[in-house]
A and B are shown apart, each in its own frame.
Chain A
Amino acid sequence: MSRGPFDGRATISGIGQSAVGRRLMRDGLDLTIEAIERAVADAGLSFDDIDGVASYPGPGVPAPGFTGADVSQVQTALGIRSRWYMGSIETAAQVGPVIEACMAVALGLAQHVVVFRSVWEGTAQAGGGRASALVPGGELPPHLQYSAPFGALSAANWLGLPATRYMHDHGLTKEQLGQVALNGRRNAALNPAAIYRDPMTMEDYLSARVISTPFGLYDCDVPCDGATAIVVSRAGSAGLRRTPLVVESVGTGMYERPTWDQRADVTSMAAYDAAASMWERTSLTAADVDVAQLYDGFTFLTVSWLDALGLVEHGRAGDLLDGGDRIARDGDLPLNTSGGQLSAGRLHGFGHLHEACVQLWGEGGERQVARQPEIAVVGAGGGPVAGCLLLSNREA
């Protein structure tokens, strides 16, 4: 059998992250370049080696700070001689461009593609609060037409709906949901780059003000500034600083209509389709996963990814989360080991990808998981869009 959709030809050779903070008062392009410079150096390459650029979401998203830089800005700023490039939001969520870069190197369209995601929502939304990002004015955007008239203005509302039903149908408790937040905070304490590092107790979590049931303040991530970049390289590339990681499989499925509320199972979301398509493309299974970096823009998204990926029996995410021991760094399935978005910052999926690489390379320092992992899964997005990656440190 071939080794996944790219037959082992797509690898990750370097990672880089800019300064990350709540409000750095730096612009998105500045942060993006910092992350890219670090990723290229981390791979052991120079800008002359880079011949591809890819990013999410591309230009055109009006929300303040949502797009730190687009591909053409980066090409202009850095003078990269691209043999291939792309930037789009209509793809498998934030990791879609990573998957496209894998295709590009596997097909020989490029040798080394730098892929980035950068945000500066903290600085860009300063003063206006998060609500300033909701309605840019004028006509409601398509995704708000059927929700905003009823006061459902935030993903906290749209995700509160499936979360309430999952808890009702499967007995997930608020305390179990809270373990996603507590686990993230414990891990963030050991991550110098994390934004929120003070200890959080279950009492803190439960007594936080309600945003939209079942979510309280600590179920929701917070806008920040920060950029993350990775280098996707064709397997067998010369001159790399260390053994690259293999992209074993990717999840890109969209089997049902991309809506928040019309899926056959109202507790599910696009993550289920992305996950199913990822497993269809590899001989690896959920039982092989050693460490999981699962999107936590809201705690329930992590629950949904655990369920969607088959890391738990359907409906039983609460059992894995209960008490928090099994998802800790020395547990059965270490989860969101950098602190996730809830504590390390809303880096929009790429924080999770960055951390998966850190753990597979054994470079986590104090927060490195107890048993050196071989296989990591990354889930990005939720609601109507999702994408996932299965990475390994096995030889290409």
Chain B
Amino acid sequence: MPYTRPEFRLLPTASGYTEAFWTGGRDGHLLVYRCESCEQFFHPPGPICWRCRSRDVAPAPVSGRGRVATFTVNAQPWLPSLPPPYVVVLVELEEQPDVRIMSQLVDIDPAEVAIGMEVEVFFEHWSDEQRGDIWLPLFRPAGGVA
């Protein structure tokens, strides 16, 4: 069943270190913090590389492609705007599999989701008086509807 956006989502706060991750979708980019010193990505974003403690860190675009590290099919109605079932996914980045993004995997029958499946990012734009503009990175099977 093709994905339709819900009427409401709980939105994050995009400010400081987190701004790039939540707004990169404006230009179609998934932006993940990267250390210039050890050349590794890390997530969640922050002021310093946890591996080498270099301060030479900045958000950098990644391909938005990755694989399903793991997933869970949520069947509990937590919010009226998000009727179950839906797939919560942990995506390992193509560039660096030990960096994972939690998201929702859509455009797929939950029964068809498998660990290792190739997925790609797309963005869902939300505008909120308090939080401004947010582009949520969601994922779907690579190459279109499975």
Contacts and interface: CB of A to CB of B under 8 A. Distances in A.
A50 to B, nearest CB: 42
A214 B115 CA distance: 14
Contacts of A140: 10-13
B25 to A, nearest CB: 12
Contacts of A149: 9-12, 134, 136
A161 B44 contact: no
A213 to B, nearest CB: 4
Contact of A160 (B82, B88, B134): B88
A159 to B, nearest CB: 8
B132 to A, nearest CB: 13
Interface string B92-117: 00000011101110000000000100
B3 interface: no
Q: Quick one: which of B10, B86, B99 has the most chain A CB within 10 A? A: B10
A131 B104 contact: no
Nearest to A217: B76
**Count class of interface residues, chain B:** 20 to 34
The SS class assigned to the A binding surface is loop
Contacts of A145: 12-13, 18, 44
Contacts of A135: 10
A328 B71 CA distance: 31
A387 interface: no
Interface in A200-215: 209-214
Contact of A164 (B11, B71, B75, B79): B71
Interface string B7-25: 0011111000010000000
Given A146-B12, A266-B69, A213 B102 contact: no
Contacts of B98: 262, 264
A261 B9 contact: no
Contacts of B26: none
Contacts of A161: 69-72, 88, 90, 102
A144 B44 CA distance: 12
Contact of B102 (A150, A154, A211): A150
B45 to A, nearest CB: 10
A160 B10 contact: no
Nearest to B77: A131
Given A165-B115, A168-B70, A147 B102 contact: yes
B78 A165 contact: no
A152 B89 CA distance: 9
Contacts of B138: 150
Interface in A124-151: 131, 134-135, 139-140, 144-151
Nearest to B78: A153
A160 B72 contact: yes
A73 B79 CA distance: 35
B60 interface: no
A157 B70 CA distance: 11
Contacts of A371: none
A145 to B, nearest CB: 5
Contact of A150 (B73, B75, B76, B88): B88
B41 to A, nearest CB: 11
Nearest to B76: A211
A222 interface: no
A162 interface: yes
Shortest beta-carbon contacts, A-B, top 8: A160-B72, A165-B70, A210-B75, A150-B104, A148-B10, A153-B78, A213-B73, A152-B88
